[in-house]
Structure 1
Amino acid sequence: MFSSTSGIIELLGTIAFAISGTFSAMQRKLDAFGVLIIAFVTSIGGGTIRDLLIGDVPVAWMRDVQVCLVILATSVAGIIFKTYIRKLKVTLFLFDSLGLGLFTVVGLQKGINFGLNPGICIALGTITGCFGGITRDILLNTIPLIFRREIYATVCIFGGLVYFLLLHLEVNVDICKFIVIALIFVTRIIVVQKNLSLPKINY
């Protein structure tokens, strides 16, 4: 699974979201089993929903045990080194942002491989990037980021639009992937630093 560029991107996304889920669970003081469950849900949640929507079953992580082993190893490492990691205040945010970019590209490419409309591909990229985090936050009894003032899903949609623009300009596919991953990662950091948000709908 992890031999191609897409496979490497998916591996990095899996690790990033596994770390994000592990940190989130440890912040809520869950036991070791709870931490592992949240790490798994965060890593595979978006991809599972994506695969079910397009009928690609069994879903990806069920066909490749490497995915589960990577999540397990990453989560265990996070638990073991928690005393060092805890000192990094922005670690959770950075890994969540990185995972968002990586998995958005994975979802985009999956839609393209299935010959779907660009708009549907962007939706699949957004689902892949966001829904693991949504499930994580719901299980941790937290309002998901996508429903708060932070610009989250919008960054994925923006990245998807840029991805198809670059493909239209005949930029190399691998270069497109890395540009969009970096764009989503950097844009999310800027959005949070500048405290930017979409307007509220008052009733």
Structure 2
Amino acid sequence: MSHWLHWIDLLGVAVFAISGTLMAYRKHMDGFGVIVLASVTAIGGGTLRDMILDLPVFWVQQPDFLYAILIAAMVTIFWLRITHKFPYQTLLVADALGIAFFNIMGMQKALDQGTGAFIAIVMGTMTGVFGGLIRDVICREIPLVLKGELYATTCIVGGILYVSALALGISDLPAMALGMLATLLLRLGAIRWHWQLPVFQGSH
């Protein structure tokens, strides 16, 4: 079980590193900037989660996460040099995959530490969205989490489904798959059809 979770975690880091590299390409950053942006996108949320939970920071304990970032960034750079196009939709899809993976993995780690379901959902949402928020702030973009389309809400819905499945006695992997799939599909639907929560506006 732990072996599979580790590979899922690595995949989430790699996907978020791809989204950070794509944004760095869009902003015409140099090689160092690419690695910095890919790294903060990939490990920012998980680092904050581990610090709040008073745990050893995951990438310090297991440097293979840093290798995954470097490999993902280099492969993305190579692909971009061949195509010479910035695929904005690919950035959004990579970001959606990243929040789906990291949301549930963050929740699972919190639950392993004995937190309640509510705190686990908060930790999962934070793990999923914080790296992308840092990426967008560094690039002087309006963070995706603050735009109208559903973003953090998708993590909350996926998290509720995950803890509900566990409460119903469903085993860990199917419950995780359900939560990840719900988060991903809801986010992809928001990208495609611009689903959003009502916007708070004052009277004119």
Give the deviation of 1:89 after TM superposition. Answer: 4.7
Match of 2:142 in 1: 143
Match of 2:66 in 1: 68
Greater shift in the superposed pair: 82-91 or 59-68: 82-91
Match of 2:85 in 1: 86
Q: Using the alignment, how far apart are the partners of 2:86 and 2:194 within structure 1?
A: 23
Match of 2:52 in 1: 53
Give the deviation of 1:90 after TM superposition. Answer: 2.0
Match of 1:34 in 2: 33
Give the deviation of 1:99 after TM superposition. Answer: 0.6
5 Å-filtered alignment, 1:1-203, equals: 4-57=3-56, 59-82=57-80, 83-84=82-83, 86=85, 88-203=87-202
- Aligned with 1:191: secondary structure? helix
Give the deviation of 1:88 after TM superposition. Answer: 4.5
Deviations 1:60-91 (A, max 9, x none): 11111111111011101111121338375521
- Aligned with 2:59: secondary structure? helix
Give the deviation of 1:143 after TM superposition. Answer: 1.1
Structure 2 CA distance for partners of 1:85 and 1:188, relative to 1, 3 Å: farther
TM-score under structure 2 normalisation?
0.94
Structure 2 gaps of 5+ residues are none
TM-score under structure 1 normalisation?
0.94
Greater shift in the superposed pair: 79-88 or 96-105: 79-88
| Contact map agreement 1:5 1:174 (CA 8 A) in 2 | no
- Residues paired across the two proteins, number: 201
Q: Using the alignment, how far apart are the partners of 1:36 and 1:152 within structure 2?
A: 25
Give the deviation of 1:5 after TM superposition. Answer: 1.8
